[in-house]
Structure 1
Amino acid sequence: MLVVEGLSRRFGVHTAVADASFEIERGAFVGVIGRSGAGKSTLLRMINRLIDPSEGRIVFDGVEVTALSGRDLRLWRRRAAMIFQQFNLVGRLDVLTNVLMGRVATVPSWRAVVGAWPDADKAIALSALEQFDIAGLAAQRTETLSGGQQQRVAIARALVQEPELILADEPIASLDPRNTRVVMDALLRINKHLGITVLCNLHSLDIARDYCDRLIGMAAGAVVFDGAPAQLTDALAREIYGLEAADVIDHAPGLDPVRPGAPVGEAAAA
């Protein structure tokens, strides 16, 4: 179980995350929703310890993550794999090598530097690529791939870390609708078939409702909603998204695109 307790982060006078508290059971697929600047990325980066909290605690299965340092912190980052919006791949390297970077914590550093990866690690990386139907691209330079293909490579790299938790920070923000579904389907498959907990930042409310078991809504750094997608009302969506609510609610299933909050169909016209 992941426990976030009173977590805050300030940058000077600006509070990016304010007193966030929640618990996530193993095997859940949780979406963190909200407008740009709501604190979603800062929250995930604190959980991974890429950013240190100003206040609060993070605990995973009884281990206080906020107290880790050195080797223990590196091991935590292996257990909690990050997937980024910008993919964070090395474009000049081939796909297989990029995926193998997820095995860095398991091999001596010299092997990673000279590219002398053990055959067993190569097999693990190829197996991960096969799961996402891109094993045939293993020898191709990553910079030649489409955005959707690159994000699947990034997910495969996260998977070979053998994580217990995946933190996905806006993984579909730069993708077209087709690749958005391909990437979200890949994350869902990891969650449902492998039982890996997924905490995923999403701007799109309709995607969040389609894929997530639970939603955590953030506004101005604070958690303002925590519950099942069906419990998220129009009023709460407007509180979470502010001025962007009209665009988000327009695309939400079951809502009138002209009058947000009104039912769709003949009943609305009656």
Structure 2
Amino acid sequence: MLIIEGLSRRFGERLAVDDVCLEVPRGSFVGVIGRSGAGKSTLLRMVNRLAEPTAGRVLWDGTDVTALRGRELRDWRARCAMVFQQFNLSGRLDVLTNVLVGRLNRVPAHRSLLRLWSDEDRAVALSALERLDIANLASQRAEHLSGGQQQRVAIARALVQEPEIILADEPIASLDPRNTRVVMDALARISRDYGITVLCNLHSLDIARAYCDRLVGLSAGRLVFDGPPDALDEAAARELYGLEAEDAVGPAPAPMPGSPAPQASPFTLHA
């Protein structure tokens, strides 16, 4: 279980995250929602320790993640994989090599520097690409792929880390509706089939409601909503998004076969 206790992050005089407390059972698919600047990305980065908390702590199955250093911290970052909005791939490398980067924590440094990947590592990477329906792109350079394909490569890279938790930071922000559906379906299948906990920052309420088991809403760094999607009413949406609420609600792409079906929206926002 992931436990967040009184987590805060201050940048100068501004509190980006303010005393957030959460408990997330294993295997959950949690959508973290709120307007831009609400603290969503900072929260996820503190869980992964890419940002250091000003106060509070993060626990995973009883281990104090905020106290980890050195090798133990590197191991945690392998177990707690990140998927970024910008994909963070090396465009000049082929897709398979980009995915194999996710195995770095499991191979000796000299082998990784020389790209001496074992047959087992290659098999794991190809299996992840096949799982995401892009094994046929393994030999192509990443810079030649579409945005949706690059994001699936990034998810495959996270998957070969054999993580226990995946933190997806606005993974669909730069994607068109079709690729939004493909990426969200992939994350939903990973959570469902592998029992991996997924925390996914999202701006669109309808997409969050269609795919997530639970929604966590931040406003000005504070936790203002925590509950199932059908409990998010118009008042809660306006508290989260203010004047941006209407923009945050839009048509959610229909999941592909085998993915969770979208839920009907319980409210309609008016101008």
**Cα shift at 1:177:** 0.3
User: Contact 1:249–1:255 at 8 Å: present in 2 too?
Assistant: no
Letter aligned with residue 53 of structure 1: P
| Cα distance in 2, alignment partners of residues 134 and 249 from structure 1 | 31
Q: SS state of the match for residue 210, structure 1? A: helix
**Cα shift at 1:87:** 0.4
**Cα shift at 1:113:** 1.1
Q: Structure 1 residues 110 and 250, CA, compared in 2 at 3 Å: closer, same or farther?
A: closer
Corresponding residue number in structure 1 for 2:259: none
Corresponding residue number in structure 1 for 2:231: 231
Q: SS state of the match for residue 243, structure 1? A: helix
**Cα shift at 1:64:** 0.2
Measured against aligned partners, the alpha-carbon deviations of 1:118-176 in whole angstroms (never above 9, x if no partner) come to 11100000000000110010000000000000000000000000000000000000000
Corresponding residue number in structure 1 for 2:214: 214
Q: SS state of the match for residue 85, structure 1? A: coil
Corresponding residue number in structure 1 for 2:12: 12
User: Contact 1:32–1:216 at 8 Å: present in 2 too?
Assistant: yes
Corresponding residue number in structure 2 for 1:116: 116
User: Contact 1:234–1:249 at 8 Å: present in 2 too?
Assistant: no
Q: Structure 1 residues 149 and 69, CA, compared in 2 at 3 Å: closer, same or farther?
A: same
| Cα distance in 2, alignment partners of residues 60 and 242 from structure 1 | 33
Measured against aligned partners, the alpha-carbon deviations of 1:10-47 in whole angstroms (never above 9, x if no partner) come to 01111100000010000100000000000000000000
**Cα shift at 1:254:** 5.0
**Cα shift at 1:249:** 3.7
Q: Structure 1 residues 256 and 62, CA, compared in 2 at 3 Å: closer, same or farther?
A: closer
**Bigger CA drift: 51-60 or 241-250?**
241-250
Corresponding residue number in structure 2 for 1:43: 43
User: Contact 1:2–1:58 at 8 Å: present in 2 too?
Assistant: yes
**Cα shift at 1:247:** 1.6
Measured against aligned partners, the alpha-carbon deviations of 1:51-78 in whole angstroms (never above 9, x if no partner) come to 0000001000010000000000000001
**Cα shift at 1:248:** 2.0
| Cα distance in 2, alignment partners of residues 239 and 71 from structure 1 | 42
Letter aligned with residue 120 of structure 2: A
Letter aligned with residue 146 of structure 2: S
Q: Structure 1 residues 251 and 136, CA, compared in 2 at 3 Å: closer, same or farther?
A: closer
Q: Structure 1 residues 256 and 61, CA, compared in 2 at 3 Å: closer, same or farther?
A: closer
Q: Structure 1 residues 243 and 251, CA, compared in 2 at 3 Å: closer, same or farther?
A: farther
Structure 1 gap ranges (5+): 261-270
Measured against aligned partners, the alpha-carbon deviations of 1:206-246 in whole angstroms (never above 9, x if no partner) come to 00000000000000000000000000110010000112112
Corresponding residue number in structure 2 for 1:179: 179
| Cα distance in 2, alignment partners of residues 140 and 8 from structure 1 | 42
Q: Report whether the alignment pairs 1:93 with 2:111.
A: no
Q: SS state of the match for residue 130, structure 2? A: helix
User: Contact 1:224–1:240 at 8 Å: present in 2 too?
Assistant: yes
Residues 1-270 of structure 1: matches in 2 within 5 Å?
Answer: 1-249=1-249, 251=251, 253-256=265-268, 259=270
**Cα shift at 1:114:** 1.2
User: Contact 2:206–2:250 at 8 Å: present in 1 too?
Assistant: no
**Bigger CA drift: 90-99 or 241-250?**
241-250
> Alpha carbon RMSD of aligned pairs, Å?
1.1
| Cα distance in 1, alignment partners of residues 267 and 19 from structure 2 | 32
| Cα distance in 1, alignment partners of residues 124 and 79 from structure 2 | 17
Q: Give me the TM-score of the superposition, normalised by structure 2.
A: 0.93
Q: SS state of the match for residue 50, structure 1? A: coil
